[in-house]
Every structure is written in C-alpha cells, then in structure tokens.
A and B are shown apart, each in its own frame.
Chain A
Amino acid sequence: AQSVTQLGSHVSVSEGALVLLRCNYSSSVPPYLFWYVQYPNQGLQLLLKYTTGATLVKGINGFEAEFKKSETSFHLTKPSAHMSDAAEYFCAVTSDFQKLVFGTGTRLLVSP
C-alpha cells in the first residue's frame, strides 16, 4: 500500500521568505509523485509532478520539488513567498497514474 505523510498541517512564512513544505512517501514500487494546490472553494490544481528522469522538477508559480529516493521525500520549495501563495497544498503518490493517494495537506499562511 502507498501512503503520504505531510509534516505540519500549517506553515507560516513572511512575504519574500523561503517556502518549504515537506512530503514523505511510502511505496513498494517506484512512485510517481505530485503536488497540488487548492485555493478556497476551488478544486485542486496541479503544481508539478515527478514521473521519471530528472529528480528536480519545476512547476508553475515558481515552485519546485526534488525527488530523493534515499530519503523517500518530495519536498516542495519556493525561494520567495508571495501573498497569492496562501492556500492548501497536497502531496500525492501513485504507482500507476490511476489511484492517487493524497496526504492530509498543509495550509500555507503568508504574512506581509
């Protein structure tokens, strides 16, 4: 069975500061990993995904994530937070692109 653990249900940063959202996964087969963002009263939007190849993945809105097999991690980062980044972020894993298993989410709060 696959699972995802997101450390920290809430993360607070100041505008302009580094954003780091943590995700660790468990999978018995090579995983495919995703980060989604959810703004209030909206559906999930794909930020970035790791399937194969380069382990550093760049996504939309300046976000990136690095797949580290030895650490079973796929942490999401952004060098400089913007007020518009305030949202809920979900990490997800799948082995076959069918059943996505989501973490419990991390709410990012950005203060001026």
Chain B
Amino acid sequence: EAGVAQSPRYKIIEKRQSVAFWCNPISGHATLYWYQQILGQGPKLLIQFQNNGVVDDSQLPKDRFSAERLKGVDSTLKIQPAKLEDSAVYLCASSLGQGSHEQYFGPGTRLTVT
C-alpha cells in the first residue's frame, strides 16, 4: 500500500513570495490533515478535511494560508505572501475517516523563508 505522498520535499523562497505544497493521501482515506511543525516543536494542526469539506481550520492563518481538496482526494496548501516565521516542515496526514484511530503521515515539505 502506497503511503502519503508530498511534494516538493524542500523549498526555499524569499519573504513575500508565494509557495504551494501538494499532498496525495493513501487511497480510500477520507480525512486529510495539514500540520505545521516548527523546529523544536511538535506538529500543530492547520486544517482538516473530511472528503472535500473543511472540518477544522481554526488554526489556519487565513490572511495568508489557503488549502483546498477539490475532488476529495489530493490537496494543496498555499502560502501567499510568505513570512520568515513560516519556515517549518509542513506535514500531510490521512486517515480512513472520522472515528478512525490512526493518522498516517507523509514525509513532509521543509520550507525555508529567507
């Protein structure tokens, strides 16, 4: 079974530029999560999708971050414009659905904003 795929693995941009990350969850997984992991901290949930609907985006900085999962499968997370404090690893995870116990994580995208 293929795992959660993310691209790119690394990205370096200057502040005020825009960037997009892509995630393809495990086949059949209805729930998709985006986490931000700042160096030295644990992952923090940014947004959760159930199929193509948003379940929780309470910690998503909506003035600069956006995410979509139009067909209920893969998802993109965008930052526009980026700030220095956005430097982090962005992790995508998926699970079978609400009530499922386990989230499966992708390898992450390491973003450096200079």
Interface residue ranges, A against B (CB under 8 Å): 4, 9, 32, 36, 41-46, 49, 51, 90, 92, 97-100, 102-105
B14 contacts the other chain (CB 8 A): no
Q: A36-B105, A43-B107, A97-B98 given; name 12 further pairs at CB < 8 Å.
A: A4-B42, A32-B101, A43-B91, A43-B93, A44-B43, A44-B93, A46-B104, A51-B101, A98-B31, A100-B45, A104-B40, A105-B42
Residues of A within 8 A of B99 (CB): 97
Contact between B55 and A49, CB atoms less than 8 A apart? no
Interface residue ranges, B against A (CB under 8 Å): 4, 9, 31, 40-45, 48, 55-56, 91, 93, 95, 98-108, 110
Contact between B106 and A97, CB atoms less than 8 A apart? no
Known contacts A49-B101, A98-B56; A105 and B107 CB within 8 A of each other: no
Residues of B within 8 A of A4 (CB): 42
Subset of 29 A-B contacts with CB under 8 Å: A4-B42, A9-B40, A32-B101, A36-B105, A41-B107, A41-B110, A42-B107, A42-B108, A43-B91, A43-B105, A44-B93, A45-B105, A46-B103, A46-B104, A51-B101, A90-B42, A97-B98, A97-B100, A97-B101, A98-B48, A98-B55, A98-B56, A99-B48, A100-B43, A100-B103, A102-B42, A102-B43, A104-B41, A105-B42
